[in-house]
């Protein structure tokens, strides 16, 4: 039997490189609640509903934007910040077609021993030594809101850059979240809730920053009589932060605002009580998982998911230390379905968000082959990986800045360009309120 990688490109199920990458948007105003999990995505995943596919890819692209705009060059004095201002982010990343605008940038830090993936610049003049840009808030514009049937507020969280470091640094210790038996992974909660008066960009925690913006936006649109939804997305560590954010948002807004989370390659975040709490407060979670990806299998161990399906198993699990369980509905894709990517073991490739989005775009059903009318640009897969087969003829790791960001200055030297004031991250102009402080204390 001929290997997939040996097929001539003209025989592969791909429409070609001279066709549009997107299809015409349809009005989903009558279906948006169903597409965002009101019925737990029943009868929408097998086969995959075309409208749901487009929504999943859209939110995945919002999460990917948090990677593509992140300066993680440790030699840059701006390492740990965003390359772009929030008003130009979607223009620079060619995402204006989605019809959203960014309203807020979010910064995070950590109060445990700083793992390598949270380190910032090596430069002594770094913009920040302890804070990192972790995501943003965006909201649908008027025309897009009309198509969607509501004003959609999005929070997109960035994950880690290197999955091997992510797995190495993840902690297994559970820590309480609020009252009761609800517990979550200590490191995730630390990134979400840590603040420091000595930090320029994290005098408020990521939790305080994002919730202040959400309260402002929800209040503003509700006062205008608009229907509002909150969709939180993230990849890898960002998927964990998305669940913590969804928990806090649903608790804050009660039943006034539907809250859903669409995550990619997300790990287990908390215990059984955390899962039950999310279900009780109405958070709808769709977890997209690539079958061979290792990150969704941690922390904890795989037998736990099977154990808790019956009452005796649940009682045993409650007394174990590693009582991590997944939440929500799993939508599993499999890299083996795609004829365009390499199938040999590749930890980075299996975990890549661009690979995930490629697999979602090509998914029809468990029994179907990769769909022939998939539109997403194949070149995006190799943006930061070497996952495409050679026949596609796209170079590996092709996305990079000209001359690695260095410019030729007036003195004839190659230097890192100085950013104008408007391009620098802006710390919050106001101090933490009593309400914010109380909120952050509840998170710890």
**If you count them, how many residues does the chain have?**
444
pLDDT at 3: 40
Three-state SS at 5: helix
Three-state SS at 153: strand
pLDDT at 304: 52
**Model confidence band, residue 11 (pLDDT cutoffs 50, 70, 90):** low
pLDDT at 405: 85
Cβ neighbours, 10 Å, residue 338:
27
Q: Which helix (H) or strand (E) holds 107?
A: strand 100-108
pTM: 0.87
Residue range 207-252, pLDDT digits in tens: 999 999 999 999 999 999 999 999 999 999 999 999 999 999 999 9
Average pLDDT over residues 416-422: 75
Better pLDDT: 110 or 85: 85
Q: State how beta strands 100-108 and 132-140 pair.
A: antiparallel
Nearest-5° Cα angle at 443, 110 to 260: 100
**Model confidence band, residue 125 (pLDDT cutoffs 50, 70, 90):** low
Residue range 293-320, pLDDT digits in tens: 998 988 865 445 555 555 565 555 555 5
pLDDT at 434: 41
**Model confidence band, residue 442 (pLDDT cutoffs 50, 70, 90):** very low
Residue range 135-180, pLDDT digits in tens: 999 999 999 999 999 999 999 999 886 544 454 455 568 899 987 8
Three-state SS at 261: strand
**48-57, 107-116, 258-267: segment of lowest average pLDDT:** 107-116
pLDDT at 73: 82
Share of the chain above pLDDT 90, in %: 61
Given a cut of 80, is residue 9 above it in pLDDT?
no
Average per-residue pLDDT in the chain? 84
Q: For residues 88 and 90, give the distance between their C-alpha atoms in angstroms, rounded to a whole number.
A: 6
Q: For residues 133 and 112, give the distance between their C-alpha atoms in angstroms, rounded to a whole number.
A: 18
Residue range 420-441, pLDDT digits in tens: 766 666 555 444 444 444 444 4
Given a cut of 60, is residue 116 above it in pLDDT?
no
Catalytic residues: 236, 293, 351
pLDDT at 431: 43
Distances (CA, A) of 88 to 108, 245, 392, 422: 22, 25, 32, 11
Average pLDDT over residues 403-423: 84
Nearest to 190 by CA among 70, 104, 108, 264: 108
pLDDT at 113: 54
Cβ neighbours, 10 Å, residue 226:
12
Exposed e or buried b per residue across 274-283, where buried means at least 16 C-beta atoms within 10 angstroms of its C-beta: bbbbbeebbb
Average pLDDT over residues 338-362: 95
Residue range 258-292, pLDDT digits in tens: 999 999 999 999 999 999 999 999 999 999 999 99
Better pLDDT: 319 or 406: 406
For each of the domains in the chain, give its residue range(s) and CATH number, in order of start: 4-443 (3.40.50.1820)
Better pLDDT: 257 or 131: 257
Given a cut of 50, is residue 325 above it in pLDDT?
yes
pLDDT at 17: 59
């Amino acid at each position: 039997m001929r290997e997939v990688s040996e097929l001539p490109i003209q025989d592969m199920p791909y429409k070609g490189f001279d066709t549009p990458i997107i299809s015409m948007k349809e009005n989903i105003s009558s279906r948006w609640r169903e597409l965002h999990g009101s019925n737990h995505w029943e009868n929408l995943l097998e086969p995959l509903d075309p409208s749901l596919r487009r929504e999943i890819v859209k939110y995945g692209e919002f999460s990917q934007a948090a990677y593509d705009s992140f300066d993680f060059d440790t030699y840059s004095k701006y390492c740990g910040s965003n390359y772009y201002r929030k008003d130009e982010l979607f223009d620079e990343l060619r995402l204006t077609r989605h019809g959203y605008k960014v309203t807020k940038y979010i910064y995070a830090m950590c109060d445990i021993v700083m793992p390598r993936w949270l380190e910032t610049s090596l430069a002594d003049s770094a913009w920040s030594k302890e804070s990192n840009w972790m995501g943003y808030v965006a909201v649908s514009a008027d025309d897009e809101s009309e198509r969607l049937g509501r004003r959609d507020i999005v929070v997109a969280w960035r994950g880690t850059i290197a999955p091997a470091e992510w797995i190495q640094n993840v902690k297994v210790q559970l820590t309480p979240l609020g009252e009761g038996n609800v517990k979550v992974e200590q490191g995730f909660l630390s990134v979400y809730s840590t603040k420091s008066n000595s930090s320029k960009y994290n005098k408020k925690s990521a939790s305080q920053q994002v919730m202040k913006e959400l309260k402002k936006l929800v209040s503003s649109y509700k006062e205008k009589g608009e229907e509002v939804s909150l969709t939180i997305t993230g990849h890898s560590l960002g998927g964990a932060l998305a669940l913590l954010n969804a928990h806090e948002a649903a608790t804050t807004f009660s039943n006034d605002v539907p809250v859903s989370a669409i995550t990619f390659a997300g790990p287990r975040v908390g215990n059984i009580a955390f899962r039950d709490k999310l279900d009780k407060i109405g958070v709808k979670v769709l977890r997209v998982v690539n079958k061979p990806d290792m990150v969704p299998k941690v922390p904890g161990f795989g037998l736990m998911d099977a154990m808790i399906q019956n009452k005796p198993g649940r009682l045993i699990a409650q007394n174990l230390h590693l009582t991590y369980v997944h939440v929500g509905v799993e939508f599993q894709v499999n890299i083996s379905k795609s004829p365009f990517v390499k199938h040999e073991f590749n930890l980075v490739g299996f975990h890549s968000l661009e690979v995930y989005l490629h697999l979602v775009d090509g998914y029809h059903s468990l029994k179907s082959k990769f769909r022939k009318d998939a539109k997403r640009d194949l070149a995006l897969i190799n943006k930061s990986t070497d996952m495409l087969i050679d026949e596609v003829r796209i170079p590996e790791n092709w996305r990079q800045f000209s001359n690695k960001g260095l410019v030729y200055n007036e003195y004839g030297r190659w230097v890192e360009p100085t950013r104008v004031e408007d391009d620098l991250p802006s710390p919050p102009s106001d101090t933490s309120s009593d309400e914010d402080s109380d909120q952050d204390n509840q998170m710890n």
